Amino acid sequence: MVSQSLEIAPATPADVPLLLELIRELAEFEQLLQDVDATADSLEVALFGPRPACEAVVARVAGEAVGFALYFHNFSTFRARRGLYLEDLYVRPAMRGHGIGKALLLHLAGIAVQRGCARFEWAVLDWNQRAIDFYRSMGAVPMDEWTVFRVSGEALASLGRQALGSVTPTGSVTSEQS
């Protein structure tokens, strides 16, 4: 356990290159490195631009970066309250098993409670049994009755073109098919 020298702090603009490095390490671990097209500029805008899309914290042990968590708010219509969505949590392999992942998760749970969030959630790859077991040990439960859907790349572009083709001059969307 490295808790005495562990520091978790909000990321700063100076951390952007480090975060990008950690994101690439995570993508490599998840066998998704080919999907990373984030740049330092795009990440900086997402985190610190005029309308930030997300937030991040960096975990450091004795001043050395060992992990991060990137998160944002979502919303529950049933609860009429926002939630906290953990997009990514990553701890460098050499530092796993020292309580850093747990500390990051607890840190974010604290943020969720402070902000009055109705829930705190995230997704995990089906094959990552170590993470699944860890999350279950923290009291998380899988949402087995839900299936995540995603539209990206050309499929998203096509849907967007369809929607944009039906936007009126006032900015409202009309539907020719009901």
Question: Cα(32)–Cα(18) distance, rounded to whole angstroms?
Answer: 19
Residues catalogued as catalytic = 135
CB atoms within 10 A of CB 51: 6
Question: Cα(28)–Cα(130) distance, rounded to whole angstroms?
Answer: 17
162 φ/ψ angles, rounded to the nearest 5 degrees = -60, -45
Question: Cα(152)–Cα(10) distance, rounded to whole angstroms?
Answer: 29
Number of H helices, E strands in the chain: 5, 5
In angstroms, the first-to-last Cα distance of the chain is: 58
| Residue the block writes with tokens 């066998």 | 31
